[in-house]
Amino acid sequence: MGVIVIRCPKSGEEISTGIEIEPEGLLRLPPVTSETVCPLCGEVHAWRPRQARVAELPIEKICVARAAMAKSGNDSPDESTPLEGA
Ligand SMILES: [Zn+2]
């Protein structure tokens, strides 16, 4: 499982959309435009699946919009996460 990240056009940094998805799942998304509030510049960025990529969790470099998501008690690691093969 990973999370969809997009690139902020203002800062050039990647940001998390907060959308968790399987890496292959991104390819199956319909080509619709989604919107994400950017935690870096505060603006709403419209993006399409082709502009996004899936980053594997946990994400350290990427700012996660935790405040916007208001998740609670969901910090336990997922034991079903596959190991990276050589
Ligand atoms: Zn931004």
**DSSP letters of 24-86?**
THHHHS-S--EEEE-TTT--EEEE-GGG-EEEESSPSSSBP-HHHHT--S--S--TTPPPPP-
**pLDDT score for 8:** 96
Rounded to the nearest angstrom, the distance between the alpha carbon of 79 and the centre of ligand 1 is 32
CA atoms of 32 and 6, how far apart (whole Å): 14
**pLDDT score for 13:** 94
Rounded to the nearest angstrom, the distance between the alpha carbon of 39 and the centre of ligand 1 is 7
**pLDDT score for 27:** 87
**pLDDT score for 67:** 46
**pLDDT score for 56:** 86
Rounded to the nearest angstrom, the distance between the alpha carbon of 71 and the centre of ligand 1 is 22
Rounded to the nearest angstrom, the distance between the alpha carbon of 85 and the centre of ligand 1 is 33
For residue 9, being part of any structural domain is answered with: yes
Rounded to the nearest angstrom, the distance between the alpha carbon of 60 and the centre of ligand 1 is 18
For residue 31, being part of any structural domain is answered with: yes
| pLDDT by 10s per residue, the chain, length 86 | 899 999 999 999 999 999 999 989 998 999 999 999 999 999 999 999 999 999 987 655 445 555 445 555 555 556 665 666 65
Number of domains in the chain: 1
Structural domain of residue 6, as residue ranges?
2-68
